[in-house]
Amino acid sequence: MSHNADARKRSERTAGDLHSIHGATVPSLEELAIGPIPIAGAETSRRLDGSPPPASEKPGLTYNDLEECPIRIWNLDPRTMVRFLGNQNGHGSEEFRALRSHLSRLREQRPIKTLLVTSALPNEGKSFIASNLAHVLALQQGCRVLLIDGDLRSPRLHQALGTSLEPGVSDYLMHEAEEIKVIQRGTGDLFFIPAGRAISGPTELLASGGMKSLIDRVANFFDWIVIDSPATVPVSDACVLATFCDGVLIVVRSQFTPFDVVRQARQRFREEALVGVVLNGTEADSSLHSRYRYHSSKA
């Protein structure tokens, strides 16, 4: 046997021995060329660079996951949550039912599941409209609704529902909590994701792709998703969120918001995305005969 052939044979024996040293598996040169090999017992839910895997690589959410969410006993704030059940419905209950009916009719004409609720300026009542709209939608038989607090600057929905602020949207976007950990389940078919802990740069975080991933991953499990957002004119968060939604509902406070500011807010969204305007805070004895009234966005 030649010297070269003998050396080659010793090399092949050594390579074969390397594959079973102390029971460990050592990749061959061909395997190394393919890519990294998972190490037994190592954390595999994150990539080698420490970043989390994309949503497409995460385990899918199931109906069983939602059913196993512990039911929270929310302490609804009577100052902001309308009473829909009982012998005497709360003031504004019929107006919210009318808004629900309008959205249901509109849904027969175009696909609408994710609905963004915003306003031109702060303090116009958008969080009030979002929380009560989600509540009245969830009262329908077999209608599962998810309410999301997308206002990472000044969240209020957790106060209206009387529940915790964390973990929530920001924790999910920062890869510190999975969606099943941020979803709260109330009595009935109303679910809630709070805003989460305070963060810097909320606009950039909302636009990073994580918010779209969250909505995409939970959308199949709900009949409606209602998202509260910051006011439209001061910051661009609502415009970012609108790109992930099927429709936009604008809240206008009566005798509060200048007409040109409302027009400016409307112009920030695609015309076809606008599903209507809610006039909030009218006098009870006005010609509208109600405090809350829906108006078509094309009126």
**Mean pLDDT, 10 residues at a time, over the chain (299 residues)?**
52 40 36 33 38 53 83 92 78 90 92 95 95 95 96 95 96 93 91 94 93 93 96 95 95 91 92 91 52 41
Cβ pair 223, 98 in contact under 8 A: no
Task: Please give the C-alpha separations between residue 34 and each of 49, 53, 138, in angstroms, as whole numbers.
Answer: 18, 19, 50
The count of residues in the chain is 299
Task: Please give the C-alpha separations between residue 289 and each of 72, 204, 286, in angstroms, as whole numbers.
Answer: 36, 42, 6
Cβ pair 58, 180 in contact under 8 A: no
Q: What is the pLDDT of residue 11?
A: 47
Which segments of the chain are extended strands (E)? 114-119, 145-149, 184-185, 190-193, 224-228, 247-253, 274-280, 292-295
CA 50 to chain CA centroid, Å, is: 25
Q: What is the pLDDT of residue 240?
A: 96
The two tokens of residue 17 are 């021995």
Residue with tokens 């990472």: 152
Helices 126-138, 93-107: inter-axial angle, 10-degree rounding: 70
Cβ pair 173, 252 in contact under 8 A: no
Answering whether pTM is above 0.85, one says no
**Left if phi > 0, otherwise alpha if psi is -120 to 50, otherwise beta: which for 76?**
beta
Q: What is the pLDDT of residue 188?
A: 84
The two tokens of residue 75 are 């302490």
Cβ pair 149, 69 in contact under 8 A: no
Q: Hey, what's the torsion of the CAs at 124, 127, 129, 132, to 10 degrees?
A: -150
Query: Alpha-carbon distance 299 to 291, whole Å?
Result: 19
Q: What is the pLDDT of residue 85?
A: 80
Query: Alpha-carbon distance 292 to 95, whole Å?
Result: 6
- If one counts every other C-beta atom within 10 angstroms of the C-beta of residue 51, the result is 9
Q: What is the pLDDT of residue 32?
A: 31
Query: Alpha-carbon distance 89 to 72, whole Å?
Result: 24
Give the pairing type, strands 274-280 and 247-253: parallel
Q: What is the pLDDT of residue 42?
A: 32
Residue with tokens 């509208």: 288
Q: What is the pLDDT of residue 63?
A: 84
Query: Alpha-carbon distance 78 to 209, whole Å?
Result: 36
